[in-house]
Chain A
């Protein structure tokens, strides 16, 4: 039976910026900055995940019950709102794969774990998975290397900071990417540095 799968490929301007970073093989630091900005923009336009704390709490309950569910809590909201759906899927995945960890950590820590996973899910949904096949097809990356690179970007400090901010204001209103603190290079190092290192 023909499937007629729908595969969204459109990228917003902020995700296209990430695409260009990856195409140009920019550093992980620069690319993760671009990803964090794109994620913050996505949270603003997609209205965040208002039920994040409640989902996190139900995730811990589900992990304790050891009954595998495909969505936690499988709400109607998730059918209407993509970020909520991503969050419920992420909660189910965490509950199914890390029940022991979720049983030991405090609710705040569990919520942070979920928030980080939700951001990764949003990044893949709205951007990274839309561009990854293109980057492989045009020969910029080998699939395994790209897979590992994207995973590395999504556990960067910037993304983690954004996850903490998402927990403070889960609906995404006014959410901005955290600024990266840059330290000036000592003059002596600067004089000896290669030009490409001081971009």
Chain B
């Protein structure tokens, strides 16, 4: 009986309206492993930090276990939002219940879903991030900046530039062995960039139950949660992310996209809401520093040292590049993420890094994603060409109203650079020129 009650008190439950709650236990339906981080730091995570990571892992699991409305419903005007109820155990239930609104606001923005979150007391030592073993030595590096590292081009290039001047602690989450392998290889290569050191701290999160929903819009919360929580464990009050402005703001390519169909994982508003949540639950100042928000992906690549080339070539940007089901894990070459990477490498004068990659589809010819991207470029050009570019941009892309704290001048400058980069590819030979010409054969 005691065992049953104890199990009940450590198991989260989730439900959608009109259906009975289902259990969600980390270690059963979903898997969270932070032992490598805790042992590397030789220090327990602060209670609120462990809570934050476990909450994010559970939210991520529910996000993947509940199907969004199908195309038929969406044709009738329904958005793809869901109503989700999630009850979970935490170490500080009063604190989390008091700040549930902030978390649901962040989740609403990230996922478009209406989340109803409830928290109850987790028994001491019963969380997946609780460590029973004591620690003899404190090995936390002092003064190293915690940075989020995903294994993508932005984080690789940003980290390479950062290591020229400073040490870093690269914090990552992997959801598969391949992702872990890529992240490790990139970090190993980056260690040769300068004499500054880069310590790697990795978490593993994945689903054991088969997932039904592939959109996983809460992934941004997962990344930011491990970043913020680990920064706290490192006794730091800031986290650095290197996402470029174009990818972070991620304006819809077509107006057929609504809400978070254009992902917002590292959107300026996401970072601001995460920052506010961190401050509220820790009662301390905290800052998510995103120095690349005002520059394009090509500018991020250009700022990386040339010596980092081999490391950047190993990074993965593809939507399906980390998927275990893809043969040889080759990137597709034609999704919006691959195309933005390829555009950036060519615009940054690092075409050799693109040429070195083996894509599943080598030519972007006929790619619907490329056509959509170039249509977006045409609309950006039209908006920016107005006598008053900011209102012009707003009327074409009302979503730019969400980009605070960036100023209108910064946003205009960002998109002017992006449009110019595309136009600069017009006369280029090889795939760079193809990228531009493919979508506008009639021009």
Contact = CB atoms under 8 A, between A and B. Distances in A.
A130 B113 CA distance: 25
Please give me the 8 A-B residue pairs with the lowest Cβ-Cβ distance, nearest first.
Answer: A46-B77, A133-B371, A139-B442, A143-B378, A70-B401, A124-B255, A97-B391, A129-B255
Interface stretch (B40-48, B93-101, B163-171, B215-223): B215-223
Given A46-B77, A136-B371, A136-B375, A5 B152 contact: no
B70 to A, nearest CB: 12
A90 B397 CA distance: 10
B77 A7 contact: no
A70 B265 CA distance: 18
Nearest to A126: B256
Contact of B114 (A69, A76, A139): A76
Interface string B204-222: 0000000000111001100
A125 B255 contact: yes
11 contacts: A1-B243, A2-B319, A2-B321, A2-B322, A69-B401, A70-B402, A79-B113, A125-B258, A137-B366, A137-B441, A147-B379
A133 B254 contact: yes
Contacts of B309: none
B255 A143 contact: no
Nearest to B338: A2
Contact of B374 (A6, A121, A133): A133
Contact of B79 (A3, A81, A90): A81
A85 interface: yes
A157 B371 CA distance: 31
Given A82-B74, A133-B375, A134-B371, A70 B399 contact: yes
Interface string A74-98: 0010111111011001101100110
B318 A80 contact: no
B394 A7 contact: no
A1, A8, A76, A92 interface centre (most CB from chain B within 10 Å) = A1
Nearest to A68: B401
Interface of B: 71, 74-81, 108, 112-114, 150, 152, 154-155, 214-216, 219-220, 223, 243, 247, 250, 253-259, 261-263, 265-266, 316-322, 335-337, 366, 368-369, 371-372, 374-375, 378-379, 382, 391, 394-395, 398-399, 401-402, 438-443
Contacts of B382: 144, 147
B263 A93 contact: no
A199 interface: no
Contacts of A121: 255
Contact of A7 (B71, B256, B265, B378): B256
Interface string A1-20: 11111111110100000000
Interface residues of A, number: 52
Contacts of B368: 7, 9, 133
Given A92-B398, A96-B401, A129-B255, A80 B79 contact: yes
A130 B372 CA distance: 9
A89 B398 contact: yes
Contact of A133 (B214, B263, B372, B443): B372
B216 A4 contact: yes
A45 B372 contact: no
B265, B335, B374, B395 interface centre (most CB from chain A within 10 Å) = B395
Given A3-B337, A82-B78, A85-B258, A136 B394 contact: no
A78 B77 CA distance: 11
B331 to A, nearest CB: 9
Given A1-B243, A133-B368, A97 B75 contact: no
A108 interface: no
B77 A70 contact: no
A130 B375 CA distance: 10
Nearest to A76: B114
A125 B375 CA distance: 14
Contacts of B391: 96-97
Contact of A129 (B71, B256, B337): B256
